[in-house]
């Protein structure tokens, strides 16, 4: 199976903004997807995570991704953290939450890392249970290259938050997308939130090592793997982000790679400029 490198794709002309379809009803009765997302985002469980809502806009992002609590959803590279605390509670009662671990086959991983990744399906449910208060038995966890056949063609939504750059530099982006394509129902969709490079950024800066990718390259990659673009949203855009830091996106909050050096400057910029894209399985 071929692995494509984003920086090698022809970027072409940026595509126009497309409107997403209306959000589905959450379930029969008066409860709507929007109110269910509201409840998950405002839950006390999230604690200090809420401080980043001003940058990450979880409610608006998930509404753009057309999420409903009765869906089967999968979170890629789930780490019992920020979005897990929203998505798992959102779907636990009437839908299904699936955590997708990174495939342990990545050429960039040493043997210890591969073993750690391979153990994800057994180690993750307990971690997620501690983070969310949901019983470990309700947390479904797999690695992407070893998803059980019965899960294929059953997933409504897959989410990849700030991970495409790692998938690209690890050499597994193409193969992971192929596996996700199989998992999705006909017409199922993938929602992407990813640090966005400038359209004229040099190829060496957008290989994934700096955290930023070009939006046109991402769209081209998904098309290569059997997806069509449903829409774009600027909900996570940040025009103050120059996206050209020697230490990459980790220069900005919340990481502050330079520690106290120019910290006030980077705090004023805020979190990265991000593309927010929705793709449908063809």
Which sequence spans correspond to the domains of the chain?
6-239
CA dist., res. 191 & res. 276, Å (int): 7
Relative orientation angle of helices 215-224 and 173-183, to the nearest 10 degrees: 60
> pLDDT of 1-33, one tens digit each?
334 445 444 334 344 444 444 444 454 223 589
Q: For domain 6-239, give its CATH number from 3.40.50.150, 3.40.50.920, 3.40.50.720, 3.40.109.10.
A: 3.40.50.150
What element of type H or E holds 133?
Answer: none
Residue 254 preceded by cis peptide, ω within 30 = yes
> pLDDT of 90-115, one tens digit each?
999 999 999 999 999 999 999 999 99
Q: Concatenate the DSSP letters of all residues of 236-280 into one string.
A: T--TT-----TTGGGGSTTT-TTTTTTHHHHHHH-SPPEEEEEEE
CA dist., res. 41 & res. 172, Å (int): 31
What is the pLDDT at residue 9?
44
What is the pLDDT at residue 28?
28
CA dist., res. 99 & res. 88, Å (int): 9
Which residues of the chain register pLDDT less than 70? Answer: 1-31
């Amino acid at each position: 199976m071929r692995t494509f490198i984003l920086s090698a794709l022809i970027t072409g002309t940026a595509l126009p903004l497309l409107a997403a379809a209306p959000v589905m009803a959450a379930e029969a009765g008066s409860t709507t997807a929007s109110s269910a997302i509201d409840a998950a985002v405002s839950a006390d469980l999230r604690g200090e995570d809420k401080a980043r809502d001003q940058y990450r806009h979880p409610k608006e992002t998930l509404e753009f991704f057309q999420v409903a609590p009765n869906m089967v959803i999968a979170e890629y590279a789930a780490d019992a953290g920020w979005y897990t605390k929203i998505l798992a509670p959102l779907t636990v009662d009437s839908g299904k939450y699936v955590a997708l671990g990174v495939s342990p086959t990545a050429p960039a991983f040493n043997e210890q890392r591969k073993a750690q990744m391979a153990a994800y399906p057994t180690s993750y449910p307990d971690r997620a249970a501690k983070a969310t208060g949901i019983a470990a038995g309700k947390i479904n966890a797999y690695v992407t290259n070893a998803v059980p056949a019965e899960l294929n063609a059953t997933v409504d939504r897959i989410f990849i938050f700030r991970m495409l750059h790692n998938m690209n530099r690890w050499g597994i982006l193409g193969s992971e997308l192929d596996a996700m394509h199989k998992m999705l129902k006909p017409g199922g969709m993938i929602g992407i939130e990813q640090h966005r490079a400038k359209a004229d950024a040099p190829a060496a800066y957008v290989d994934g090592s700096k955290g930023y990718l070009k939006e046109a390259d991402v769209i081209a990659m998904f098309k290569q793997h059997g997806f069509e673009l449903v829409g774009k949203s600027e909900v996570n855009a940040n025009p103050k982000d120059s996206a050209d830091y020697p230490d990459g996106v980790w220069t900005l909050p919340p990481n502050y790679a330079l520690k106290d050096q120019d910290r006030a400057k980077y705090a004023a910029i805020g979190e990265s400029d991000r593309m927010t894209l929705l793709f449908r399985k063809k």
